[in-house]
Amino acid sequence: MDADERKVQDPVCDMMVDPGQLAVTHLGMHFAFCSEQCRQRFLSNPNLYIGSVAHKVPKQQGREVLKRRRLKLSEPLPGGWVVH
Ligand SMILES: [Zn+2]
């Protein structure tokens, strides 16, 4: 399984490819592609594919959810019970 760790994911078709294959560096990120077709697709609209990669690490989204939950918890309980 060591061979797999040296591969990177083609952001267009999700295939695992050699990091040096048709390599492109975009915004400091390294991408490799299984074919010239995938590379051209990426280059014509990089944000489409970078967006799906970044979506896997939604740090800010998690914080938003926490804030909303806190607001709900700090609401006074019905019946006059307020816990501080
Ligand atoms: Zn591909």
Q: For 11-20, what is each residue's pLDDT tens digit?
A: 999 999 999 9
pLDDT tens digits for range 24-59: 999 899 999 999 999 999 999 999 998 755 555 445
- Residue 46 neighbours by CB under 8 Å, 6+ apart: 26, 27
For residue 23, what are the domain limits?
2-73
Whether the Cβ atoms of residue 42 and residue 31 lie closer than 8 Å to each other: yes
CA of 39 to the centre of ligand 1 (A): 7
Residue 29 CA to ligand 1 center (angstroms) comes to: 17
Distance 60 CA to ligand 1 centre (A): 30
Ligand 1 centroid from CA 43, angstroms: 13
pTM score, whole prediction: 0.56
User: Per the domain annotation, does 78 fall within a domain?
Assistant: no
Give distance in angstroms: CA of 59 to centre of ligand 1: 28
At residue 14, the 3 state secondary structure works out as: coil
The count of domains in the chain is 1
Residue 32 within any structural domain of the chain? yes
